C-alpha cells in the first residue's frame, strides 16, 4: 500500500518548503500580524508567479490543472511556515466556490484573475450565533426587479478588509425549509452600504465584521442558482475543513520539529533534556499525533480530489486534528518551558493559530455529530 506522494508532488512540497523558509521568516509573520492589511503584496506576487494561486483550477481558467490534493500540499507548507495573507480566503473559500457553482463567464472572468494574483476575495457565512447551519442565516436579500437588496451582518469574515469581492451566503426566501432558500451573491466591497470592521482575535488573523445596509447586488452576480445554494455551501465547508486540517498538520509538524531539536540541544543536570523519559514520551506522543493527523487529512483530501462521497472522512479528520494539533503545540510548550511562553519565542505563534483553527469550519464536537450520523447513529 503506497501512501506516498508522487514525484511531482514531492518536488512541489520541497520547493514550497524552501521558498517559504527564505521568503516568509517569522520576523515577517510578526510584522504582518501587527499590520492593518495582514499580508505582503510582494510575497503575494511571488506566490502568484509560482502558479500557486491557480494550482487547483483548470488551465482554461488560468490555473495549472492540479487537484485539491496538490493544493493541500501547499497548504501544509503554509501552515508549517505560518504564511499570513488571503491565500486561504481567496483560493479555497472564494475560488473553489466559483469553480463549483459559477457560470462559464464567471469562471473565466474571476478565476483567471485569482490565478494571476490580481484578485483577492473571500466568503461570508457565519452570523451572530457563529454556527455553520442554514437555520442560523438571517442576512436577507430581497429581489427588486433585476437586482437584490441585501441587509444583515456577517461575522468572522476572513480578509474582508482587503478583499475586492465577498461571496455572501444570504437568505432569498423566507418560507419553507431553511436549506431551500439560500443564495450566494458576489458583492463588490466598494458598493454603497457596506461597513467592514476588523475584529480583535487570538491569532491576529484578519477576521472582520461586515454589515450590509441596503446594498444593491445585480442579479448577474448570483453564483449558481437562486434558492438552491445550500448544497454548494456544504461542499465548500467540507473542502475548507480539510484545507484547514492540512494547514494544522503543517503547524503540528513545525512544533514537533522545534521541540525535538530543542530537546537534543538543551542541557540540564549534565544531560540533554531529550534523554529524560518524560521529554521522550512527550515527543513520542507528538509524533504520533502529527502522523495520525497527516494520514486523516490526506485521506480526506484524496477523497475530495477523486470526487468521492467523503462526509465521514472529512468529519473524522476535523474531529481528530482540531484537538490533536492543539495538544501538540501544548506539549511543545512544556518541552520549551518558560522560554516558550515569551512573546519573543515562535511557539506562541503556533499555539494561537492552532487554537483558532480548532474552531474554524466546525469544532470537534460538531464533526463528532457528523461521524455519529455517518455510522448510523
* Residue-level pLDDT at 127: 94
Residues 6+ apart with CB under 8 A from 88: 75, 158, 243, 244, 247
Q: What is the mean pLDDT of residues 15-44?
A: 95
Q: How confident is the model at residue 130 (pLDDT cuts 50, 70, 90)?
A: confident
Whether pLDDT at 1 is above 70: no
Question: Which CATH superfamily groups domain 123-227?
Answer: Butyryl-CoA Dehydrogenase, subunit A, domain 2 (2.40.110.10)
Q: Assign domain 231-374 to a CATH class.
A: mainly alpha
pLDDT over threshold 70, residue 160: yes
More reliable by pLDDT, 340 or 41 = 41
Domain ranges within the chain, ordered by starting residue: 7-119, 123-227, 231-374
Compute, in degrees rounded to 10, the torsion defined by CA atoms 365, 367, 369, 373.
-170
Mean of the pLDDT values across residues 49-77?
A: 96
pLDDT of 257 reads 97
pLDDT at 341 > cutoff 90: no
Q: Which fold has domain 7-119?
A: Butyryl-Coa Dehydrogenase, subunit A; domain 1 (1.10.540)
- What average pLDDT does this structure show over 28-42? 95
Does the pLDDT at position 318 exceed 70?
Answer: yes
Residues with Cβ within 8 Å of 308's Cβ and at least 6 positions away in sequence, in order, are: none
Could you tell me the pTM of the whole model? 0.95
Residue 276, pLDDT > 80, answer yes
Quick check: 2 pLDDT over 80?
no
Q: Give the closest residue to 160 by CA, choosing from 128, 98, 208, 94.
A: 208
The model's pLDDT over 215-270, given as tens digits with 9 standing for 90+, comes to 999 999 999 999 999 999 999 999 999 999 999 999 999 999 999 999 999 989 99
Q: What percent of the chain has pLDDT over 70?
A: 100
Amino acid at each position: 500500500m503506497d501512501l506516498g506522494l508522487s514525484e511531482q508532488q514531492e518536488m512541489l512540497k520541497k520547493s514550497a518548503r524552501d521558498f517559504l523558509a527564505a521568503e516568509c521568516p517569522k520576523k515577517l509573520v510578526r510584522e504582518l500580524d501587527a499590520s492593518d492589511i495582514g499580508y505582503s503584496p510582494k510575497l503575494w506576487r511571488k506566490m502568484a508567479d509560482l502558479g500557486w494561486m491557480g494550482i487547483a483550477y483548470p488551465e482554461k481558467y488560468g490555473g495549472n490543472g492540479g487537484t485539491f490534493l496538490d493544493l493541500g500540499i501547499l497548504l501544509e507548507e503554509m501552515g508549517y511556515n505560518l504564511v499570513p495573507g488571503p491565500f486561504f480566503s481567496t483560493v479555497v473559500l472564494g475560488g473553489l466556490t466559483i469553480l463549483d457553482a459559477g457560470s462559464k463567464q464567471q469562471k473565466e472572468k474571476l478565476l483567471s484573475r485569482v490565478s494571476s494574483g490580481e484578485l483577492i476575495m473571500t466568503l461570508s457565512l457565519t452570523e451572530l450565533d457563529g454556527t455553520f447551519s442554514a437555520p442560523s442565516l438571517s442576512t436577507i436579500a430581497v429581489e427588486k426587479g433585476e437586482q437584490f437588496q441585501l441587509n444583515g451582518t456577517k461575522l468572522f469574515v476572513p480578509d474582508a478588509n482587503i478583499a475586492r469581492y465577498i461571496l455572501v451566503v444570504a437568505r432569498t426566501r423566507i418560507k419553507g425549509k431553511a436549506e431551500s432558500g439560500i443564495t450566494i451573491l458576489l458583492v463588490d466591497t466598494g458598493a454603497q452600504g457596506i461597513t467592514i470592521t476588523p475584529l480583535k482575535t487570538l491569532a491576529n488573523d484578519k477576521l472582520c465584521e461586515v454589515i450590509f445596509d441596503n446594498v444593491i447586488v445585480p442579479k448577474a452576480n448570483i453564483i449558481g442558482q437562486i434558492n438552491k445554494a445550500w448544497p454548494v455551501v456544504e461542499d465548500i465547508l467540507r473542502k475548507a475543513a480539510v484545507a484547514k486540517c492540512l494547514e494544522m498538520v503543517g503547524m503540528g509538524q513545525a512544533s514537533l520539529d522545534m521541540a525535538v531539536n530543542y530537546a537534543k540541544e538543551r542541557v540540564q543536570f549534565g544531560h540533554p533534556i531529550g534523554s529524560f523519559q518524560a521529554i521522550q514520551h512527550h515527543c513520542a506522543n507528538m509524533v504520533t499525533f502529527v502522523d495520525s493527523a497527516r494520514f486523516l487529512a490526506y485521506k480526506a483530501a484524496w477523497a475530495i480530489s477523486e470526487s468521492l462521497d467523503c462526509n465521514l472522512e472529512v468529519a473524522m479528520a476535523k474531529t481528530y486534528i482540531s484537538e490533536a494539533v492543539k495538544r501538540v503545540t501544548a506539549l511543545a510548550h512544556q518541552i520549551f518551558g518558560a522560554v516558550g511562553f515569551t512573546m519573543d519565542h515562535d511557539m506562541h505563534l503556533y499555539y494561537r493559530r492552532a487554537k483558532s483553527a480548532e474552531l474554524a469550519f466546525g469544532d470537534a464536537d460538531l464533526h463528532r455529530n457528523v461521524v455519529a450520523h455517518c455510522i448510523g447513529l
